[in-house]
């Protein structure tokens, strides 16, 4: 079976792996139009620390109030067609028992006959908001790297749940790929980052061949970029900093640039993240 096969599981988690909420927003867009139904959810008592990821209380249209607990849920298409289909795994990065968490979800993937996995992540990086969002496309699977022109990371250091889960499914014979969007680190006050979400979905469509509706994402991405332009226009130091990032990016994109530039950026980011407990996500302050 070529590539990722016909049943591709797309994974994304809130928290460490989700700068600018780019990956979780991509997953939310994929879930629109009630096209999916839940297959399996983990027991939150086993994996989550409620002091870190607290349950939320909500009021429905009739005035009823209920608690919603953190979760990780596998979703499958309600009406699978004959072509490649996307399954979805989404939730909160667990706080404990990662090996058991990965083993449990690997068993479910095998039960659902998943043929390939693509993980979505996003990272804060030294990149300009005015240029196309960089996507690092990688895999530890030699066949996938050859067939899909993916990179192999040489990074060594702390990782998130995406790497742990990918390692687990690779060990049982399910090939995996990962897509990481680089979000400008100076736009922490302009989240979510629809431009990064759009770039992730574009690359996911390239890898899987599945047509993915974008909704109003292009318009939102343009508005996001314009809002940062406006903020920078009133800050000479920020304007100069962005100009330097643009020059660096243009050098990377030139015909003479090294093909390893994107991979090096990805690995430098991960090394920086090793200095602290994790990447700022939805539930923790941004540095």
Per-residue pLDDT averaged across 209-214, rounded?
91
Structural domains of the chain, count: 2
Q: Which pLDDT tens digit goes with each residue over 152-168? A: 988 888 899 999 999 99
Domain presence at residue 160: yes
Q: Are residues 172 and 43 in the same domain?
A: yes
Q: Are residues 179 and 47 in the same domain?
A: yes
* Residue 251 confidence (pLDDT) above 60: yes
Average pLDDT, the chain: 86
Per-residue pLDDT averaged across 207-225, rounded?
93
Q: Are residues 135 and 267 in the same domain?
A: no
Q: Which pLDDT tens digit goes with each residue over 29-78? A: 999 877 899 999 999 999 999 998 899 999 988 888 999 899 999 999 99
Q: Are residues 133 and 262 in the same domain?
A: no
Q: Are residues 53 and 170 in the same domain?
A: yes
- 47 versus 264: which is more confidently predicted? 47
Domain presence at residue 123: yes
Q: What is the pLDDT of residue 279?
A: 38
Q: Which pLDDT tens digit goes with each residue over 91-101? A: 999 999 999 99
- Looking at the chain, the whole-number percentage of residues with pLDDT higher than 90 is 57
Q: Are residues 46 and 184 in the same domain?
A: yes
Q: Are residues 169 and 240 in the same domain?
A: no
Q: Do residues 169 and 109 touch, judged by C-beta distance below 8 A?
A: yes
Domain presence at residue 80: yes
Q: Do residues 25 and 192 touch, judged by C-beta distance below 8 A?
A: yes
Q: Are residues 34 and 96 in the same domain?
A: yes
Q: What is the pLDDT of residue 254?
A: 66
Q: Are residues 263 and 161 in the same domain?
A: no
CATH number of the domain that residue 110 is part of: 3.40.50.10900
* Residue 275 confidence (pLDDT) above 50: no
Q: Give the structural domain span for 171.
A: 7-215
End-to-end, the C-alpha distance of the chain in Å comes to 44
């Amino acid at each position: 079976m070529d590539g990722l096969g016909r049943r591709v599981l797309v994974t994304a988690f809130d928290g460490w792996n989700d700068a600018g909420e780019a990956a979780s927003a991509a997953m939310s867009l994929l879930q629109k139009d009630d096209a999916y139904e839940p297959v399996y959810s983990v027991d939150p008592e086993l994996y989550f620390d409620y002091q870190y990821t607290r349950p939320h209380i909500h009021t429905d249209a009739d005035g009823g109030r209920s608690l919603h607990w953190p979760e990780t849920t596998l979703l499958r298409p309600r009406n699978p067609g004959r072509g490649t289909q996307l399954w979805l795994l989404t939730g909160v990065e667990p706080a404990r028992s990662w090996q058991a968490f990965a083993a449990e979800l690997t068993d479910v993937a095998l039960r659902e006959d998943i043929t390939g996995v693509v993980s979505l992540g996003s990272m804060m990086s030294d990149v300009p908001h005015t240029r196309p969002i960089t996507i690092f496309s990688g895999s530890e699977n030699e066949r996938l790297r050859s067939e899909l022109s993916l990179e192999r990371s040489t990074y060594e250091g702390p990782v998130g749940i995406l790497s742990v889960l990918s390692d687990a499914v690779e060990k049982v014979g399910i090939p995996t790929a990962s897509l990481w969007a680089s979000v400008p680190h100076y736009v922490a006050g302009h989240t979510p980052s629809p431009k990064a979400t759009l770039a992730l979905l574009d690359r996911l469509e390239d890898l899987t061949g599945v047509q993915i509706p974008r909704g109003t994402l292009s318009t939102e991405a343009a508005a996001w970029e314009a809002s940062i332009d406006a903020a920078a226009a009133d800050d000479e130091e920020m304007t100069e900093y962005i100009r330097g990032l643009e020059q660096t990016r243009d050098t990377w994109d030139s015909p003479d640039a090294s093909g390893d530039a994107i991979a090096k950026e990805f690995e430098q980011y991960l090394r920086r993240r090793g200095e602290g407990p994790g990447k700022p996500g939805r539930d923790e302050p941004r540095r």
